[in-house]
Chains A and B, each alone.
Chain A
Amino acid sequence: MHAVDEANQEALRRMLAADPVLIDVIPAAQAIGALKENVLLHAGPPIAWERMCGPLRGAIAGAIVFEGWAADLDEAFTSAAAGAIAFHPNHHFDAVGPMTGITTRSMPLLVVENRTFGNRAYCTINEGLGKVMRFGGNDAEVLTRLAWLRDGLAPVLAAALRAAGGIGLKSLIARGLSMGDEMHQRNVACTSLLLRELAPWLVRAGKDPDVVAQAMQFIAGNDQFFLNVAMAMGKAIMDPVRGIAGSSVVTAMSRNGTDFGIQVSGTGERWFTAPVEMPEGLYFPSFSEKDANPDMGDSTIVETIGLGGFAMAASPAVAGFVGAGSAATAAAVTKAMSEITVGENPEWTIPALDFAGVPTGIDIRLVLETGLAPTINTGIAHREPGIGQVGAGVVKAPMACFAQALSGLAQALGVA
């Protein structure tokens, strides 16, 4: 028991020592050598085509067309079903992706470097709201936007970040928390703060004022732009926490629309999975629960570092998705999450909780002891491919993952 506590203190120390900096945007194939032709990364734990949900298949078909591996969506579905494409989780390649989380070789990836530990993590660029690939969208509009992200936005964004010498994210998050963001459901403050820091560098980096204007307009017009930055940051913070012998701290939580998976420091790269749950939430007009796909995405990496549902108290607006929707409900969620975490992050504080730090480092033992599952803020995709986002809400991580993980940790420690 003592050894586990010590290992967890080391995990917390590494999390708090992290210094994540957004440094670049580069093509996925350059960031991840394994991304050859017909290789595709997705959100969540490993999954075969046969068990994939509608939106994930829809996004995969779109990505296949986008990469030119098939002429149209029909051909793409056929070839994916026939086994022509190799599927792997983003998490196996230092990467994360929201919702369907599709990453293919030509997509531009945000690069976050953890300067304390020297590791890097990657995430695609957020496409905006509405019909988008991360929610299973795959029509011409979706693919055209992806092409513009790659050919229009990425080069100028990359140039600006390099010229700026990177944008430090730690203090940016701290300010965002005090402005009502929890970095999962609500990123409007951090998006604005990021754009404010980037603006002069974008102007200097761009050769064509129209391109710069479009880039700035795109970022300014997408309140969730920062989500993907926060996700890459989360991955960059958590990867150095992996593999601490005996540690019961969760290093990844992730879902593929079928399974929810977690990884734990003391059990390395092993996934502990259980069927994913349905989010509870609010829906866009003309949609309801019956349209919803079960929970999806690598974005739960932000809860893993103490943001999202864990920082709900910072973001009373987001509490509208749960219960009565009051600020008191939001505070209660964060306090409940502090019952399942090793400690708090003194640099990421919540004014409404008298500047208490966000609950940091999920301990699977505490999850099982208290019966409190991590609370996750999430978007909700339509269950059919090609339709996109239909709502947003809150979902719980399934308890079964944590029970399996504890057995796994006990085995690893030789006490099972």
Chain B
Amino acid sequence: MSVILNEVRPGFYLDSVALMRLSREIAGQPGIAEAALMMGTPANKEIMRDARLLAAPGEAAQGNDLVIGIRADSDAAAREALANALQRLTTSRASVDPGQGWRPRSLRAALKILPDANLALISVPGAYAAAEARKALRRGLHVLIFSDNVPLAEELALKREGRDLGRLVMGPDCGTAILNGVPLAFANRVPRGEIGLIGASGTGLQEVSSLIAESGAGISQAIGVGGRDLSREIGGIATLMAFDALDADPATQRIVLISKPPHPEVAQRIVARVAASAKPVTLCFIGADSLDLPKNARLASTLKQAAELALEGRLIGAGFDIRARTREMRIPAGRSRRIAGLFAGGTLCAEAQVLLLAAGRHVASNAPVPGASDLARAVTDSDRILDLGADEYTRGRPHPMIDPQVRDDALRDALDDPRLGVILLDLVIGYGAHTDPAGHLAAGLARRPDDGPLIVASVTGTEQDPQRRSAQVAALEGAGVLVAPSNAQAAEVALALTGEYV
């Protein structure tokens, strides 16, 4: 049996769209077959009549009257729906929903809101990054390309165009910058200071800036120029522009340049530019043998040494006594002295290789520095030092700095290896990185046997980072990990554990 209930509110006007929304809500209530709220015009009454919603009270309504028509399974359901409708008609609604705010979709619209902006950070899939970067350049903006997989030819064209326009193109493949104290993309919160950094290596820039910050000094600017900037093809266009900028910046007293070894032609060009500067310069080309340098320049072989030179000799982690810390530690019986490195940071991986090679060890890596061999040519007792952020591990997956799970498989393999002696790890925190990488790692190490490999790590980041360096260190130490103050010292700890630290 169905019940038709009408209520007429004389002279009550509500916009038809609001009424349609209300109708839909009331019609959706339990026990309601159909419902409509409409102004009582002849056309509307006809619609309601056809929908079998009109009874005598509704039929008598006029154009300025609001008619509520309800058809329900029972009188009780109809009355409840009517009461609900009447209540909704009279209660006020929250005015503005803050979740509905508009966000610009295009550079053009964003610049209307922020006309004084002078930098665009591009983070779109690599195939589209160059097009977006070009738009930004042509609107007079400096550009930081966070995207990777940007074709080399596009990078060259963009950097040339940027140079002609006097605009810096930072990145791609090195998503790090700290400009005027603002950390961009993968970066750490560091104090302002006198040291200007230029990096073709993202984690290298993060390690050096964090080490400087943790020892109490600060950064004027940190400029990530892109992983391929010092290649022969690109020729250091962004590096040279960044050098000009820091040279001209009165806040910058000393300059540090961090990169993999540049192409020799490019290295010459860089050295010539350094010679023309009045400021002291530290060059850190991880894995490079030697270089003829001008008087104002010094070469650092590790990131730690680069930070120390920039700090004018102040030592990093001076209170950390490697011998004392490792005196009581022994590689469990039956295990070899072999070291496995599982790195999220590419440059941190390279720095570890340099230190292990210097100690005379045989090192193999998927990203070998000069002197190390390719993984395919590893021998039984080779240390395998892996860059897990390299393309072959991250294709179709996030970078291990963002998602530490990417390292889980490799870590499980290492823990299950019955002969492995030491596992060497890095942990990179800061903006863009995972919210709690140490917590994730600690959970993965929780139920390992006592006679497993020893684990050594360092945390790249600062106390001011969202993850708090000390909290991350504490979580690792709680999981039985020996944590060194720097990545270089972590490698040295590993060497001490294998008996080769001198």
Contacts and interface: CB of A to CB of B under 8 A. Distances in A.
A71 to B, nearest CB: 28
B43 A130 contact: yes
17 contacts: A128-B43, A130-B43, A282-B17, A284-B51, A285-B23, A285-B34, A285-B36, A285-B47, A285-B53, A286-B50, A317-B18, A320-B15, A325-B17, A325-B21, A328-B97, A335-B109, A392-B17
B109 A327 contact: no
Contacts of A325: 17, 21
A213 interface: no
B122 to A, nearest CB: 14
Given A325-B21, A336-B105, 9 more contacts: A221-B63, A282-B20, A283-B20, A320-B15, A323-B100, A326-B97, A328-B100, A331-B102, A332-B101
A130 B105 contact: no
Contacts of B27: 285
Interface stretch (A50-58, A156-164, A365-373): A365-373
B377 interface: no
B397 interface: no
Interface in A271-319: 282-286, 317-319
Contacts of B108: 339, 366
B100 A326 contact: yes
A283 to B, nearest CB: 8
A129 interface: yes
Contacts of B452: none
A114 interface: no
B96 A328 contact: yes
Contact of B100 (A283, A317, A332, A370): A332
A415 interface: no
Interface residues of A, number: 36
A284 B36 contact: yes
B43 A286 contact: no
A323 B102 CA distance: 13
Interface string A182-193: 000110000000
A335 B96 contact: no
Contacts of B47: 130, 284-285
Interface of B: 15, 17-18, 20-21, 23-24, 27, 34-36, 41, 43, 46-48, 50-53, 63, 69, 95-98, 100-102, 104-106, 108-109
The 8 lowest CB-CB distance pairs between A and B, nearest first, are A320-B17, A285-B36, A285-B51, A286-B51, A328-B100, A282-B20, A332-B102, A317-B15
Contacts of A283: 20, 24
A366 B97 contact: no
Interface string A204-231: 0000000000000000010000000000
A326 B96 contact: yes
Given A329-B100, A336-B105, A339-B104, A320 B21 contact: yes
Contacts of B100: 323-324, 326, 328-329, 332
A282 B96 CA distance: 22
Contacts of A323: 100
A369 B105 CA distance: 9
A288 B48 CA distance: 15
Nearest to A335: B102
A48 to B, nearest CB: 33
A321 interface: yes
Q: Which of A282, A285, A339, A370 has most chain B Cβ within 10 Å? A: A285
Contacts of B50: 286
Contacts of A286: 34, 50-52
A326 B95 CA distance: 7
A90 interface: no
Nearest to A388: B47
Contacts of B105: 336, 339, 370-372
Contacts of B69: 285
Contacts of B20: 282-284, 320, 391-392
